[in-house]
Structure 1
Amino acid sequence: MASLAIHGIGVSRGYAIGRVYRLQRAQTEIVEYELQAEQIDAEIERYRTGLELARAELRAIRERIPAASPTDVAAFIDTHLLMLNDSLLAKAPLEIIRSQRCNAEWALKIQRDRIVQVFEDMDDEYLRTRKDDVDHVVARIHRILLAGAENPVGDLSLPRFAKRIVIADDLTPADTILMQNQGVLAFVTEYGGPLSHTAILARSLEIPAIVGARQVRRYLRDDEIVVVDGVRGVVLAGLDELSLDFYRARQQQEQQRRHALTAFSHQPALTRDGTRIALHANIELLED
Protein backbone atom coordinates (compact mmCIF):
# COMPACT_ATOMS: atom_id res chain seq x y z
CA MET A 1 0.00 0.00 0.00
CA ALA A 2 2.80 2.42 0.81
CA SER A 3 6.23 3.08 -0.60
CA LEU A 4 7.42 4.20 2.83
CA ALA A 5 6.30 3.26 6.34
CA ILE A 6 7.93 4.81 9.42
CA HIS A 7 7.05 3.16 12.70
CA GLY A 8 6.86 4.74 16.14
CA ILE A 9 4.59 4.55 19.17
CA GLY A 10 0.98 5.53 18.71
CA VAL A 11 0.11 7.63 21.76
CA SER A 12 -3.15 9.20 20.60
CA ARG A 13 -5.44 7.15 18.39
CA GLY A 14 -6.99 8.42 15.21
CA TYR A 15 -6.14 8.97 11.57
CA ALA A 16 -4.93 12.08 9.75
CA ILE A 17 -4.25 12.74 6.08
CA GLY A 18 -2.43 15.90 5.14
CA ARG A 19 0.70 17.71 4.09
CA VAL A 20 3.91 17.63 6.09
CA TYR A 21 5.27 20.60 8.00
CA ARG A 22 8.76 19.86 9.33
CA LEU A 23 9.47 21.92 12.42
CA GLN A 24 13.15 22.87 12.38
CA ARG A 25 14.74 24.01 15.61
CA ALA A 26 17.94 26.02 15.61
CA GLN A 27 20.80 24.14 17.23
CA THR A 28 22.27 26.34 19.92
CA GLU A 29 25.56 25.72 21.66
CA ILE A 30 25.84 26.80 25.28
CA VAL A 31 29.32 28.14 25.97
CA GLU A 32 30.93 29.28 29.20
CA TYR A 33 32.73 32.55 29.70
CA GLU A 34 34.13 34.14 32.83
CA LEU A 35 32.73 37.36 34.24
CA GLN A 36 34.59 40.20 35.83
CA ALA A 37 33.48 41.05 39.36
CA GLU A 38 31.77 44.23 38.21
CA GLN A 39 29.72 42.28 35.60
CA ILE A 40 28.06 39.85 38.01
CA ASP A 41 25.14 42.04 39.09
CA ALA A 42 24.24 42.86 35.49
CA GLU A 43 24.39 39.18 34.55
CA ILE A 44 22.07 38.28 37.41
CA GLU A 45 19.63 40.93 36.25
CA ARG A 46 19.86 39.56 32.69
CA TYR A 47 18.88 36.11 33.96
CA ARG A 48 15.96 37.52 35.94
CA THR A 49 14.75 39.39 32.86
CA GLY A 50 14.96 36.22 30.77
CA LEU A 51 13.01 34.34 33.41
CA GLU A 52 10.25 36.96 33.42
CA LEU A 53 10.04 36.92 29.61
CA ALA A 54 9.66 33.14 29.72
CA ARG A 55 6.81 33.53 32.21
CA ALA A 56 5.17 36.14 29.98
CA GLU A 57 5.34 33.80 26.97
CA LEU A 58 3.65 30.99 28.87
CA ARG A 59 0.98 33.28 30.30
CA ALA A 60 0.19 34.48 26.76
CA ILE A 61 -0.15 30.87 25.61
CA ARG A 62 -2.41 30.06 28.54
CA GLU A 63 -4.72 32.93 27.65
CA ARG A 64 -5.16 31.42 24.18
CA ILE A 65 -6.51 28.13 25.49
CA PRO A 66 -10.21 27.89 24.52
CA ALA A 67 -12.62 27.87 27.46
CA ALA A 68 -14.10 24.58 26.22
CA SER A 69 -10.75 22.76 26.42
CA PRO A 70 -10.29 19.99 29.01
CA THR A 71 -9.12 21.36 32.36
CA ASP A 72 -5.86 19.43 32.24
CA VAL A 73 -4.74 21.39 29.15
CA ALA A 74 -4.14 24.57 31.15
CA ALA A 75 -2.58 22.47 33.91
CA PHE A 76 0.39 21.62 31.68
CA ILE A 77 1.17 25.31 31.18
CA ASP A 78 0.66 25.94 34.89
CA THR A 79 3.22 23.22 35.63
CA HIS A 80 5.84 25.01 33.53
CA LEU A 81 4.97 28.33 35.16
CA LEU A 82 5.44 26.76 38.59
CA MET A 83 8.83 25.47 37.51
CA LEU A 84 9.84 28.97 36.46
CA ASN A 85 8.88 30.22 39.91
CA ASP A 86 10.60 27.40 41.78
CA SER A 87 13.85 28.26 43.52
CA LEU A 88 15.61 25.50 41.55
CA LEU A 89 15.34 27.69 38.46
CA ALA A 90 14.54 31.11 39.90
CA LYS A 91 17.34 31.28 42.50
CA ALA A 92 19.89 28.48 42.16
CA PRO A 93 21.31 29.75 38.83
CA LEU A 94 21.86 33.16 40.43
CA GLU A 95 24.02 31.56 43.11
CA ILE A 96 26.00 29.74 40.43
CA ILE A 97 26.59 33.02 38.58
CA ARG A 98 27.92 34.57 41.79
CA SER A 99 30.02 31.64 42.99
CA GLN A 100 31.49 30.59 39.64
CA ARG A 101 31.46 34.03 37.99
CA CYS A 102 30.02 32.51 34.83
CA ASN A 103 27.46 33.68 32.30
CA ALA A 104 23.73 33.08 32.83
CA GLU A 105 23.41 30.49 30.05
CA TRP A 106 26.18 28.35 31.54
CA ALA A 107 24.81 28.68 35.07
CA LEU A 108 21.42 27.50 33.83
CA LYS A 109 23.03 24.56 32.05
CA ILE A 110 24.83 23.51 35.25
CA GLN A 111 21.58 23.68 37.22
CA ARG A 112 19.68 21.85 34.49
CA ASP A 113 22.18 18.97 34.58
CA ARG A 114 21.80 18.71 38.36
CA ILE A 115 18.01 18.59 38.22
CA VAL A 116 17.89 16.12 35.34
CA GLN A 117 20.28 13.78 37.13
CA VAL A 118 17.85 13.57 40.05
CA PHE A 119 15.03 12.54 37.71
CA GLU A 120 17.18 10.04 35.82
CA ASP A 121 18.05 8.30 39.09
CA MET A 122 14.39 7.65 39.88
CA ASP A 123 12.98 4.14 39.52
CA ASP A 124 9.50 5.20 38.42
CA GLU A 125 9.27 5.55 34.63
CA TYR A 126 6.63 8.28 34.76
CA LEU A 127 8.72 10.39 37.12
CA ARG A 128 11.83 9.86 34.97
CA THR A 129 10.01 11.32 31.98
CA ARG A 130 9.40 14.54 33.93
CA LYS A 131 12.96 15.53 33.06
CA ASP A 132 11.51 16.39 29.65
CA ASP A 133 9.54 19.20 31.30
CA VAL A 134 12.76 20.51 32.82
CA ASP A 135 14.40 20.48 29.39
CA HIS A 136 11.42 22.25 27.80
CA VAL A 137 11.46 25.04 30.38
CA VAL A 138 15.25 25.40 30.32
CA ALA A 139 15.25 25.50 26.50
CA ARG A 140 12.73 28.35 26.59
CA ILE A 141 14.93 30.37 28.97
CA HIS A 142 18.06 29.62 26.95
CA ARG A 143 16.38 30.77 23.75
CA ILE A 144 15.50 34.09 25.37
CA LEU A 145 18.95 34.56 26.89
CA LEU A 146 20.60 33.85 23.56
CA ALA A 147 18.97 37.00 22.20
CA GLY A 148 18.00 36.33 18.62
CA ALA A 149 17.63 32.56 18.86
CA GLU A 150 14.49 31.94 16.83
CA ASN A 151 11.31 30.66 18.42
CA PRO A 152 10.58 27.56 16.28
CA VAL A 153 6.83 28.06 16.59
CA GLY A 154 7.23 31.59 15.23
CA ASP A 155 4.57 34.28 14.91
CA LEU A 156 1.46 33.01 16.69
CA SER A 157 -0.80 34.99 14.34
CA LEU A 158 0.34 33.04 11.27
CA PRO A 159 -1.76 29.89 10.65
CA ARG A 160 1.27 27.91 9.49
CA PHE A 161 0.08 24.70 11.16
CA ALA A 162 -3.52 24.75 9.92
CA LYS A 163 -4.42 21.41 8.28
CA ARG A 164 -0.81 20.27 8.53
CA ILE A 165 0.89 17.21 9.96
CA VAL A 166 3.75 18.48 12.09
CA ILE A 167 6.99 16.49 12.09
CA ALA A 168 9.45 17.45 14.84
CA ASP A 169 12.23 16.14 17.04
CA ASP A 170 10.08 16.82 20.09
CA LEU A 171 7.25 19.13 21.11
CA THR A 172 6.58 20.97 24.33
CA PRO A 173 3.07 21.14 25.80
CA ALA A 174 3.05 24.83 24.87
CA ASP A 175 3.87 23.98 21.23
CA THR A 176 1.09 21.41 21.20
CA ILE A 177 -1.53 23.83 22.51
CA LEU A 178 -0.57 26.58 20.05
CA MET A 179 -0.69 24.19 17.11
CA GLN A 180 -4.01 22.75 18.20
CA ASN A 181 -5.46 26.26 18.28
CA GLN A 182 -4.36 26.68 14.65
CA GLY A 183 -6.01 23.45 13.52
CA VAL A 184 -3.06 21.05 13.25
CA LEU A 185 -4.06 17.59 11.98
CA ALA A 186 -1.51 15.37 13.75
CA PHE A 187 1.92 15.23 15.39
CA VAL A 188 4.84 12.92 14.74
CA THR A 189 8.01 13.26 16.83
CA GLU A 190 11.35 11.47 16.76
CA TYR A 191 11.62 11.35 20.54
CA GLY A 192 9.31 11.03 23.51
CA GLY A 193 7.23 8.26 24.99
CA PRO A 194 3.63 7.43 25.93
CA LEU A 195 4.05 8.97 29.40
CA SER A 196 5.38 12.33 28.19
CA HIS A 197 3.22 15.37 28.84
CA THR A 198 2.99 16.02 25.09
CA ALA A 199 1.59 12.52 24.53
CA ILE A 200 -0.89 12.92 27.38
CA LEU A 201 -1.93 16.32 26.03
CA ALA A 202 -2.42 14.97 22.49
CA ARG A 203 -4.78 12.32 23.87
CA SER A 204 -6.67 14.93 25.85
CA LEU A 205 -7.05 17.11 22.76
CA GLU A 206 -7.88 14.06 20.59
CA ILE A 207 -5.10 14.82 18.11
CA PRO A 208 -3.62 11.74 16.38
CA ALA A 209 0.00 11.48 17.50
CA ILE A 210 3.03 9.23 17.15
CA VAL A 211 6.25 9.51 19.15
CA GLY A 212 9.57 7.72 18.89
CA ALA A 213 9.53 7.69 15.06
CA ARG A 214 13.29 7.76 14.62
CA GLN A 215 14.68 9.86 11.75
CA VAL A 216 11.20 10.70 10.49
CA ARG A 217 12.35 14.21 9.53
CA ARG A 218 15.07 12.70 7.37
CA TYR A 219 12.69 10.63 5.26
CA LEU A 220 9.77 13.02 4.82
CA ARG A 221 9.66 16.26 2.82
CA ASP A 222 7.75 19.46 3.43
CA ASP A 223 4.32 19.50 1.70
CA GLU A 224 4.46 15.74 1.06
CA ILE A 225 1.09 14.07 1.62
CA VAL A 226 1.24 11.43 4.35
CA VAL A 227 -1.10 9.41 6.53
CA VAL A 228 -0.69 9.27 10.30
CA ASP A 229 -2.14 6.07 11.73
CA GLY A 230 -2.24 6.74 15.46
CA VAL A 231 -3.80 3.35 16.14
CA ARG A 232 -0.89 1.32 14.75
CA GLY A 233 1.77 3.98 15.33
CA VAL A 234 2.91 4.31 11.73
CA VAL A 235 3.40 7.15 9.23
CA LEU A 236 2.72 6.21 5.61
CA ALA A 237 4.06 8.12 2.61
CA GLY A 238 3.79 7.60 -1.13
CA LEU A 239 0.25 6.22 -1.02
CA ASP A 240 -1.84 5.88 -4.18
CA GLU A 241 -5.38 7.25 -4.35
CA LEU A 242 -6.95 3.88 -3.57
CA SER A 243 -4.93 3.64 -0.36
CA LEU A 244 -5.81 7.21 0.60
CA ASP A 245 -9.50 6.37 0.14
CA PHE A 246 -9.01 3.40 2.49
CA TYR A 247 -7.71 5.71 5.22
CA ARG A 248 -10.39 8.30 4.57
CA ALA A 249 -12.90 5.56 5.33
CA ARG A 250 -10.94 4.71 8.50
CA GLN A 251 -11.12 8.38 9.49
CA GLN A 252 -14.87 8.39 9.11
CA GLN A 253 -15.23 5.18 11.13
CA GLU A 254 -13.11 6.66 13.92
CA GLN A 255 -15.22 9.82 13.99
CA GLN A 256 -18.38 7.72 14.21
CA ARG A 257 -16.85 5.69 17.05
CA ARG A 258 -16.05 8.86 19.01
CA HIS A 259 -19.50 10.31 18.45
CA ALA A 260 -21.06 7.07 19.69
CA LEU A 261 -18.90 7.11 22.81
CA THR A 262 -19.81 10.73 23.46
CA ALA A 263 -23.50 9.89 23.20
CA PHE A 264 -23.12 7.21 25.88
CA SER A 265 -20.76 9.13 28.15
CA HIS A 266 -23.49 10.85 30.19
CA GLN A 267 -25.69 7.80 30.62
CA PRO A 268 -25.66 5.78 33.86
CA ALA A 269 -23.41 2.71 33.87
CA LEU A 270 -25.88 -0.17 34.25
CA THR A 271 -25.54 -3.89 33.63
CA ARG A 272 -28.27 -5.75 31.75
CA ASP A 273 -29.89 -6.80 35.02
CA GLY A 274 -30.02 -3.19 36.22
CA THR A 275 -27.01 -3.11 38.53
CA ARG A 276 -25.38 0.32 38.67
CA ILE A 277 -21.58 0.30 38.30
CA ALA A 278 -19.50 3.09 39.82
CA LEU A 279 -15.93 3.67 38.69
CA HIS A 280 -13.48 5.04 41.27
CA ALA A 281 -9.73 5.52 41.30
CA ASN A 282 -7.25 6.05 44.11
CA ILE A 283 -4.10 7.82 42.97
CA GLU A 284 -2.86 8.93 46.35
CA LEU A 285 0.15 6.60 46.24
CA LEU A 286 2.80 6.21 43.53
CA GLU A 287 2.09 2.46 43.48
CA ASP A 288 -1.44 3.20 42.31
Structure 2
Amino acid sequence: MSDTLNPLLLAFMAGLFTWVMTSAGAALVFLFKEINKNILNIMLGFAAGVMVAASFWSLLLPATEIAKEENMVEWMPVIIGFAAGGAFLILMDKVLPHLHPNSKDGSPEGMPSNLRKSILLVFAITLHNIPEGFAVGVAFGAMANEGVTFAAAIVVALGIGIQNLPEGAAVSIPLRKEGYSRRKSFMIGQLSGAVEPVAALLGAYFAMNMAYLLPYTLSFAAGAMIYVVVEELIPESQSEEHSHGATIGSMSGFLLMTFLDIALG
Protein backbone atom coordinates (compact mmCIF):
# COMPACT_ATOMS: atom_id res chain seq x y z
CA MET A 1 0.00 0.00 0.00
CA SER A 2 2.80 2.43 0.91
CA ASP A 3 4.43 1.79 -2.49
CA THR A 4 1.32 2.53 -4.51
CA LEU A 5 -0.19 5.51 -2.68
CA ASN A 6 1.27 8.99 -2.66
CA PRO A 7 2.58 9.99 0.80
CA LEU A 8 0.54 13.19 0.51
CA LEU A 9 -2.63 11.13 0.14
CA LEU A 10 -1.62 8.87 3.00
CA ALA A 11 -0.92 11.91 5.18
CA PHE A 12 -4.31 13.42 4.34
CA MET A 13 -6.09 10.13 5.11
CA ALA A 14 -4.23 9.88 8.41
CA GLY A 15 -5.20 13.47 9.23
CA LEU A 16 -8.83 12.62 8.51
CA PHE A 17 -8.53 9.64 10.86
CA THR A 18 -7.29 11.82 13.71
CA TRP A 19 -10.15 14.24 13.04
CA VAL A 20 -12.67 11.39 13.15
CA MET A 21 -11.23 10.23 16.47
CA THR A 22 -11.55 13.75 17.86
CA SER A 23 -15.16 13.90 16.66
CA ALA A 24 -15.90 10.54 18.29
CA GLY A 25 -14.59 11.86 21.60
CA ALA A 26 -16.54 15.11 21.25
CA ALA A 27 -19.71 13.10 20.53
CA LEU A 28 -19.63 11.82 24.12
CA VAL A 29 -21.27 15.14 25.00
CA PHE A 30 -24.53 13.64 23.73
CA LEU A 31 -24.24 10.98 26.44
CA PHE A 32 -22.87 13.01 29.36
CA LYS A 33 -23.59 16.55 30.51
CA GLU A 34 -20.52 16.76 32.68
CA ILE A 35 -17.42 14.75 33.40
CA ASN A 36 -15.76 14.03 36.71
CA LYS A 37 -12.75 16.33 37.13
CA ASN A 38 -10.48 13.46 38.13
CA ILE A 39 -11.46 11.50 35.04
CA LEU A 40 -10.85 14.56 32.88
CA ASN A 41 -7.40 14.97 34.41
CA ILE A 42 -6.59 11.31 33.74
CA MET A 43 -7.65 11.79 30.10
CA LEU A 44 -5.50 14.90 29.73
CA GLY A 45 -2.57 13.15 31.39
CA PHE A 46 -2.99 10.20 29.02
CA ALA A 47 -2.93 12.55 26.02
CA ALA A 48 0.23 14.18 27.37
CA GLY A 49 1.96 10.82 27.77
CA VAL A 50 1.13 9.79 24.21
CA MET A 51 2.44 13.06 22.79
CA VAL A 52 5.69 12.91 24.75
CA ALA A 53 6.35 9.33 23.62
CA ALA A 54 5.47 10.15 20.00
CA SER A 55 7.79 13.15 20.10
CA PHE A 56 10.74 11.01 21.15
CA TRP A 57 10.25 7.62 19.49
CA SER A 58 8.67 8.77 16.24
CA LEU A 59 10.24 12.19 15.68
CA LEU A 60 13.40 13.00 17.63
CA LEU A 61 14.99 9.55 17.45
CA PRO A 62 14.51 9.24 13.65
CA ALA A 63 15.80 12.82 13.28
CA THR A 64 19.01 11.85 15.08
CA GLU A 65 19.43 8.71 12.97
CA ILE A 66 18.87 10.59 9.69
CA ALA A 67 21.34 13.32 10.72
CA LYS A 68 23.94 10.63 11.42
CA GLU A 69 23.34 8.94 8.06
CA GLU A 70 23.70 12.29 6.27
CA ASN A 71 26.97 13.01 8.09
CA MET A 72 25.48 15.99 9.90
CA VAL A 73 26.42 17.01 13.41
CA GLU A 74 23.89 14.70 15.09
CA TRP A 75 22.72 17.03 17.83
CA MET A 76 22.41 20.18 15.72
CA PRO A 77 19.20 19.45 13.74
CA VAL A 78 17.51 18.14 16.88
CA ILE A 79 18.39 21.18 19.00
CA ILE A 80 17.64 23.76 16.30
CA GLY A 81 14.45 22.11 15.03
CA PHE A 82 13.09 21.41 18.52
CA ALA A 83 13.72 25.01 19.65
CA ALA A 84 12.13 26.36 16.46
CA GLY A 85 9.00 24.27 17.02
CA GLY A 86 8.55 25.65 20.51
CA ALA A 87 9.31 29.21 19.37
CA PHE A 88 6.70 28.94 16.62
CA LEU A 89 3.99 27.97 19.12
CA ILE A 90 5.02 30.79 21.47
CA LEU A 91 4.73 33.26 18.59
CA MET A 92 1.32 31.91 17.56
CA ASP A 93 0.18 32.03 21.18
CA LYS A 94 1.11 35.72 21.36
CA VAL A 95 -0.37 36.70 17.99
CA LEU A 96 -3.52 34.60 17.45
CA PRO A 97 -6.54 35.76 19.51
CA HIS A 98 -7.85 32.73 21.41
CA LEU A 99 -9.57 31.57 24.57
CA HIS A 100 -8.79 28.26 26.22
CA PRO A 101 -11.90 26.23 27.21
CA ASN A 102 -10.66 25.83 30.81
CA SER A 103 -9.36 29.37 31.26
CA LYS A 104 -9.58 30.25 34.96
CA ASP A 105 -10.33 33.95 34.53
CA GLY A 106 -12.09 33.69 31.17
CA SER A 107 -9.77 36.23 29.56
CA PRO A 108 -8.74 35.81 25.90
CA GLU A 109 -5.06 35.57 25.02
CA GLY A 110 -3.13 36.86 22.02
CA MET A 111 -3.83 40.10 20.19
CA PRO A 112 -6.98 42.02 21.24
CA SER A 113 -10.08 41.31 19.16
CA ASN A 114 -13.86 41.63 19.16
CA LEU A 115 -14.46 38.06 18.02
CA ARG A 116 -17.18 35.99 19.66
CA LYS A 117 -16.26 33.66 22.49
CA SER A 118 -17.09 30.55 20.43
CA ILE A 119 -14.69 31.66 17.66
CA LEU A 120 -11.95 32.37 20.18
CA LEU A 121 -12.45 28.87 21.60
CA VAL A 122 -12.09 27.34 18.13
CA PHE A 123 -8.89 29.34 17.55
CA ALA A 124 -7.43 28.06 20.83
CA ILE A 125 -8.20 24.46 19.94
CA THR A 126 -6.87 24.93 16.42
CA LEU A 127 -3.59 26.26 17.80
CA HIS A 128 -3.38 23.17 20.01
CA ASN A 129 -3.89 20.68 17.17
CA ILE A 130 -1.66 22.13 14.45
CA PRO A 131 1.48 20.38 15.82
CA GLU A 132 -0.31 17.03 15.97
CA GLY A 133 -1.44 17.15 12.35
CA PHE A 134 1.95 18.45 11.25
CA ALA A 135 3.70 15.57 13.04
CA VAL A 136 1.46 13.02 11.31
CA GLY A 137 2.17 14.59 7.92
CA VAL A 138 5.92 14.75 8.50
CA ALA A 139 5.96 11.05 9.39
CA PHE A 140 4.24 10.05 6.14
CA GLY A 141 6.19 12.56 4.06
CA ALA A 142 9.45 11.18 5.46
CA MET A 143 8.59 7.81 3.89
CA ALA A 144 9.40 9.28 0.46
CA ASN A 145 13.00 9.72 1.59
CA GLU A 146 13.03 6.47 3.58
CA GLY A 147 13.54 8.46 6.75
CA VAL A 148 10.56 6.77 8.42
CA THR A 149 8.99 3.40 7.66
CA PHE A 150 5.33 3.03 6.69
CA ALA A 151 4.67 1.13 9.93
CA ALA A 152 6.25 3.91 11.99
CA ALA A 153 4.12 6.54 10.24
CA ILE A 154 1.01 4.47 10.95
CA VAL A 155 2.01 4.30 14.62
CA VAL A 156 2.26 8.10 14.78
CA ALA A 157 -1.22 8.50 13.27
CA LEU A 158 -2.62 5.78 15.54
CA GLY A 159 -1.07 7.32 18.64
CA ILE A 160 -2.32 10.82 17.85
CA GLY A 161 -5.76 9.41 17.01
CA ILE A 162 -5.95 7.50 20.30
CA GLN A 163 -5.09 10.57 22.34
CA ASN A 164 -7.55 12.68 20.32
CA LEU A 165 -10.44 10.53 21.54
CA PRO A 166 -10.28 11.70 25.18
CA GLU A 167 -9.10 15.13 24.03
CA GLY A 168 -12.31 15.69 22.05
CA ALA A 169 -14.38 14.80 25.11
CA ALA A 170 -12.19 17.00 27.29
CA VAL A 171 -13.23 19.96 25.12
CA SER A 172 -16.92 19.32 24.41
CA ILE A 173 -18.16 18.10 27.81
CA PRO A 174 -16.81 21.05 29.86
CA LEU A 175 -18.39 23.40 27.30
CA ARG A 176 -21.74 21.70 27.87
CA LYS A 177 -21.30 22.21 31.61
CA GLU A 178 -20.73 25.92 30.96
CA GLY A 179 -24.16 26.20 29.34
CA TYR A 180 -23.49 25.53 25.67
CA SER A 181 -26.00 23.30 23.88
CA ARG A 182 -24.99 19.71 23.19
CA ARG A 183 -24.84 20.43 19.46
CA LYS A 184 -22.70 23.54 19.83
CA SER A 185 -20.41 21.81 22.34
CA PHE A 186 -19.96 18.95 19.88
CA MET A 187 -19.31 21.26 16.94
CA ILE A 188 -16.63 23.20 18.82
CA GLY A 189 -15.11 19.96 20.15
CA GLN A 190 -14.87 18.27 16.77
CA LEU A 191 -13.46 21.44 15.20
CA SER A 192 -10.43 20.84 17.38
CA GLY A 193 -9.46 18.13 14.88
CA ALA A 194 -10.53 19.84 11.66
CA VAL A 195 -7.15 21.51 11.20
CA GLU A 196 -5.23 18.24 11.39
CA PRO A 197 -5.77 17.02 7.78
CA VAL A 198 -4.57 20.41 6.50
CA ALA A 199 -1.58 20.45 8.87
CA ALA A 200 -0.80 16.86 7.84
CA LEU A 201 -0.66 17.84 4.17
CA LEU A 202 1.63 20.74 5.01
CA GLY A 203 3.94 18.54 7.06
CA ALA A 204 4.08 15.87 4.35
CA TYR A 205 4.87 18.47 1.69
CA PHE A 206 7.81 19.85 3.67
CA ALA A 207 9.16 16.38 4.43
CA MET A 208 8.91 15.26 0.79
CA ASN A 209 10.26 18.35 -0.94
CA MET A 210 12.94 19.45 1.50
CA ALA A 211 14.73 16.18 2.21
CA TYR A 212 17.87 17.97 3.41
CA LEU A 213 15.77 19.60 6.14
CA LEU A 214 14.05 16.38 7.25
CA PRO A 215 15.87 16.06 10.61
CA TYR A 216 15.00 19.68 11.33
CA THR A 217 11.36 19.15 10.28
CA LEU A 218 10.93 16.07 12.46
CA SER A 219 12.47 17.91 15.42
CA PHE A 220 10.33 21.00 14.74
CA ALA A 221 7.17 18.87 15.02
CA ALA A 222 8.45 17.34 18.26
CA GLY A 223 9.24 20.74 19.76
CA ALA A 224 5.79 22.07 18.93
CA MET A 225 4.11 19.01 20.47
CA ILE A 226 6.16 19.17 23.66
CA TYR A 227 5.30 22.87 23.98
CA VAL A 228 1.59 21.99 23.96
CA VAL A 229 2.15 19.26 26.55
CA VAL A 230 4.10 21.46 28.97
CA GLU A 231 2.10 24.64 28.40
CA GLU A 232 -1.40 23.17 28.53
CA LEU A 233 -1.92 19.45 29.07
CA ILE A 234 0.25 18.81 32.12
CA PRO A 235 -0.73 21.96 34.07
CA GLU A 236 -4.41 21.33 33.40
CA SER A 237 -4.20 17.65 34.31
CA GLN A 238 -2.44 18.51 37.59
CA SER A 239 -5.03 21.10 38.63
CA GLU A 240 -6.43 18.99 41.48
CA GLU A 241 -4.76 18.58 44.88
CA HIS A 242 -4.36 14.82 44.45
CA SER A 243 -3.00 14.30 40.95
CA HIS A 244 -1.93 10.65 41.09
CA GLY A 245 -4.58 9.72 38.52
CA ALA A 246 -3.27 12.25 36.03
CA THR A 247 0.29 11.06 36.59
CA ILE A 248 -0.72 7.43 36.07
CA GLY A 249 -2.63 8.52 32.96
CA SER A 250 0.51 10.20 31.60
CA MET A 251 2.63 7.12 32.25
CA SER A 252 -0.02 4.88 30.69
CA GLY A 253 -0.15 7.02 27.56
CA PHE A 254 3.63 7.00 27.30
CA LEU A 255 3.79 3.22 27.75
CA LEU A 256 1.07 2.59 25.18
CA MET A 257 2.76 4.74 22.55
CA THR A 258 6.13 3.17 23.36
CA PHE A 259 4.66 -0.30 22.92
CA LEU A 260 3.05 0.63 19.60
CA ASP A 261 6.22 2.22 18.26
CA ILE A 262 8.56 -0.62 19.26
CA ALA A 263 6.19 -3.50 18.49
CA LEU A 264 4.75 -2.16 15.23
CA GLY A 265 7.26 0.45 14.07
* The structure with more radius of gyration: 1
Report the TM-score range of the alignment, normalised by the length of the smaller protein: under 0.3
Of Structure 1 and Structure 2, which has the larger fraction of its residues in helix? 2
Task: Give the TM-score of the pair, scaled to structure 2.
Answer: 0.25
Task: Give the TM-score of the pair, scaled to structure 1.
Answer: 0.24
Of Structure 1 and Structure 2, which has the larger fraction of its residues in strand? 1
